[in-house]
Every structure is written in structure tokens, then in C-alpha cells.
């Protein structure tokens, strides 16, 4: 059996690692596997044997520019998609497993037109956010918008990912996505949380069966390990609070970390953030100089070391479906404090971990409770 995965990344980031691990499982069962991806970032040589890139860097930049101008994300990359579909037809998959198709690399209308010409192909689609059934955004929790249930228009988050600068095309996007994504002969929607499953059942995707399959991580990799990070940064006498994200911003809790750092005793606590960009590092040096900021990394062993060295993993996200960073931290022996939003509470396994209501005051209270009980 031939299996084809599609995701924005190969091996890189949480969805990239999820798709890669699924490919490994299928290969172990004797199947032929390929992963089509759009963004060439941090791919180790051993993962490249599965990869088939859709388009190139120039195409990604054009798609991003097109999105900014017209707010029509997923409707550029026509040439790249045409070439990919020619290759995919020759590969002739029995199973197509889709992950993220947002990310500036593929034309979703062309992809689903092709899917609908192959009624005998089994299609699975793992949703990692809500972009599939909205007219623009990937998440709507923080703004409390429910227009997606009937018809998107006048989007309150037009400048959030995938950002538009001038035009609000949310009404047209909603209509075009609905037409593209409905009517597939044999498709199963997979969600990594019951929270997202319930949303799907209220959307135009409700015609499809929905299965909850919790995301997993490779516990042969994510397990308690050793690192020189604490020693190298002279943190031997401090409690390390770790935060990890692919992209940091207010909704991921970056502002909450800044506020938290100002209220903690720097002689007792050290906050370490992984995944910040160069601009954010400069900002943190001015606004929160106590925070140790590390750029995004594809070095899994570095992450394992940081998870293992930390006393607590803090995830103050305001919008998330099922954050695998929580799973990774717990697998490395580090308890988690996460906000009680979206699918975050469903990630908690360690009895020491906590799902708390959003707010920096609630984090500080949880820290006091945790270290008193320790």
C-alpha cells in the first residue's frame, strides 16, 4: 500500500514530527510512504528519504505576499500545486493523510479537485487548528467569534495568521473552503482533542466521521536526559521555568511571561524561552532582561536537555488545540502548568501538572503551591 502525507513541514515543529512518526509506523508495517511538504526548514538527512517538496522558497514568499495583499490564503501556489499533483498522480497513493495545508505552499482548491477525482482513495485529515472551517483565522477563542458556524464576514482577526493587511476576504474564503472541503467520497476527520471534535461537529465539516486521536510523541527520544545548560548558565541554585513555542506572540503567552518575570525574584527563578525570533530577543533584553531567550531550534536533543533540566514547564497559551510541548515536557519528567483553554487540559497526565485559568496571578499562585508541595 502506498501512503502519502501532506504537511507544511517535514520533521520540523510539532506537526512535522507527528507526520514523520506516522510515516515511520506505516513503513514498519511494510508500506511505501512519502511526505509532501512545503517549507524546507531543519530537515535532517535521515528524514529526507520520505520527503517530496511542493514548490520552492520563492513560491512560499509569493504566496505570503499574495495573502498579505488579498487575504486569500491557500489560493496561490498554482504552478507548484499543478506540478505536485502530477507527481502525486504518478505515485498513485492508496491513502492520503493530510495535516496542515495552510502555510503558504499549496492551493487547496486544486488539491481537493484532484482528491474528488479519486473516489477510491482513502483520505484522512488531521486538524491541528480551526483554519479548515473558518474564513480566515486558525483560532478564534481569544476574540470569542462564532461567525464560522454559519458564515464568516467582517473578520475581527484579519491581521492575525495568516495575516491580511488591506482586504477582508473572509466571506469569500469561507464560501470557497466550504465548497472545496465538503463532498469528498471517503474522508475521515481526525482531531487531537475532544474540544476540537466538538467544534468540527458544529461546522460545515459535520458530514464527515470524526475520530479523536491524541497526538503522541516519540518517548524513545523525549525522556529524562542530561544537559549542561543549568551549569553553563550558572543556574545551579535557581528554579528554571521553561516555555517553548514554534512562534511566540501575545496569544502564546509571551506578554504573560514578560509580566511574570517582573514579579518573580530573579535570585530564585530563571525563565527560559525557546522559539523566540531575533526581534523578540531584542525586545526581551529591554523589557525583561532576566529572561533567557533562545531562538527556534530543530535540535531535538537540545530540547530534551532543556525540558529535563527545568523544574517546571509553563504554557500560558490562550489558544491551542492539543499542545505537544506539554507532552514532551512531561515525558522528560517535568511537570506542566498550562492554561485551561482549548484542548490543553486533555494533555495533562502527570499528577503534579496543573491546568489553571488564564492570568499571571494564577501562574504565581500555582508556582507557590507547586514548590510548597515539592
Domains of the chain, CATH where assigned: 2-212 (3.40.50), 229-373 (3.40.50.2000)
Mean pLDDT of the chain: 94
pLDDT digits (tens, 9 = 90+) for 244-286: 998 899 999 999 999 999 999 999 999 999 999 999 999 999 9
How high is the pLDDT of residue 218?
Answer: 83
Alpha helices in 29-119 (DSSP H): 45-48, 57-70, 78-91, 108-116
Comparing 75 with 237, the larger pLDDT belongs to 75
> What ranges make up the beta strands (E) of 149-291?
187-191, 210-212, 239-244, 269-276
Q: What is the rounded CA–CA span in Å between residue 273 and residue 296? A: 9
Which residues are 276's β-sheet partners? 295
Average pLDDT of the segment spanning 326-331: 96
Asked if pLDDT for residue 41 goes beyond 80, the answer is no
> 300: closest CA among 230, 229, 245, 222?
222
Asked if pLDDT for residue 74 goes beyond 70, the answer is yes
- Could you give the percent of the chain with pLDDT greater than 70? 99
How high is the pLDDT of residue 102?
Answer: 96
Order the strands of the 51-53 sheet from edge to edge.
Answer: 51-53, 32-39, 2-9, 95-98, 122-126, 187-191, 210-212
Average pLDDT of the segment spanning 185-194: 96
Asked if pLDDT for residue 356 goes beyond 80, the answer is yes
How high is the pLDDT of residue 208?
Answer: 97
Asked if pLDDT for residue 297 goes beyond 90, the answer is no
Asked if pLDDT for residue 374 goes beyond 70, the answer is no
Q: What phi-psi label fits residue 310: left (phi over 0), alpha (psi between -120 and 50 degrees) or beta?
A: beta
How high is the pLDDT of residue 183?
Answer: 96
pLDDT digits (tens, 9 = 90+) for 199-253: 999 999 999 999 999 988 888 899 998 888 898 889 989 999 999 998 899 999 9
Amino acid at each position: 500500500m502506498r501512503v502519502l502525507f501532506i504537511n507544511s513541514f517535514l520533521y520540523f515543529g510539532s506537526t512535522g514530527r507527528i507526520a514523520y512518526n506516522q510515516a515511520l509506523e506505516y513503513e514498519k508495517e511494510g508500506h511505501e510512504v512519502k511526505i509532501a511538504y512545503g517549507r524546507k526548514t531543519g530537515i535532517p538527512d535521515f528524514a529526507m528519504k520520505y520527503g517530496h517538496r511542493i514548490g520552492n522558497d520563492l513560491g512560499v514568499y509569493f504566496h505570503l505576499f499574495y495573502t498579505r495583499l488579498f487575504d486569500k490564503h491557500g489560493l496561490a501556489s498554482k504552478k507548484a500545486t499543478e506540478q505536485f499533483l502530477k507527481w502525486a498522480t504518478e505515485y498513485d497513493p492508496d491513502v492520503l493523510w493530510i495535516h496542515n495545508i495552510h502555510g503558504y505552499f499549496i492551493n487547496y482548491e486544486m488539491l481537493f479537485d484532484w482528491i474528488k477525482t479519486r473516489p477510491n482513495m482513502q483520505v484522512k485529515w488531521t486538524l491541528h487548528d480551526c483554519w479548515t472551517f473558518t474564513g480566515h483565522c486558525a483560532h478564534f477563542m481569544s476574540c470569542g467569534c462564532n461567525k464560522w458556524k454559519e458564515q464568516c464576514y467582517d473578520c475581527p482577526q484579519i491581521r492575525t495568521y495568516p495575516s491580511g493587511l488591506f482586504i477582508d476576504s473572509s466571506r469569500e474564503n469561507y464560501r470557497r473552503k466550504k465548497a472545496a472541503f465538503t463532498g469528498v467520497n471517503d474522508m475521515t476527520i481526525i482531531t487531537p482533542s475532544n474540544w476540537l471534535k466538538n467544534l468540527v461537529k458544529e461546522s460545515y465539516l459535520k458530514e464527515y466521521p470524526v475520530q479523536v486521536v491524541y497526538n503522541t510523541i516519540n518517548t524513545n527520544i523525549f525522556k529524562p536526559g542530561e544537559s549542561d545548560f543549568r551549569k553553563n548558565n550558572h543556574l545551579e541554585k535557581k528554579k528554571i521555568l521553561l516555555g517553548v513555542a514554534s512562534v511566540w506572540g501575545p496569544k502564546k503567552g509571551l506578554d504573560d511571561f514578560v509580566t511574570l518575570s517582573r514579579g518573580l525574584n530573579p535570585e530564585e527563578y530563571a525563565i527560559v524561552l525557546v522559539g523566540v525570533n531575533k526581534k523578540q530577543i531584542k525586545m526581551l533584553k529591554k523589557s525583561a532582561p532576566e529572561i533567557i531567550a533562545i531562538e527556534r531550534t530543530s535540535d531535538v536533543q537540545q530540547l530534551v536537555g532543556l525540558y529535563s533540566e527545568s523544574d517546571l514547564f509553563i504554557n500560558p497559551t490562550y489558544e491551542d488545540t492539543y499542545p505537544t510541548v506539554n507532552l514532551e515536557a512531561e515525558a522528560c519528567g517535568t511537570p506542566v502548568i498550562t492554561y485551561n483553554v482549548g484542548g490543553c487540559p486533555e494533555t495533562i497526565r502527570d499528577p503534579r501538572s496543573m491546568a489553571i485559568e488564564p492570568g499571571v496571578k494564577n501562574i504565581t499562585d500555582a508556582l507557590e503551591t507547586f514548590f510548597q508541595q515539592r
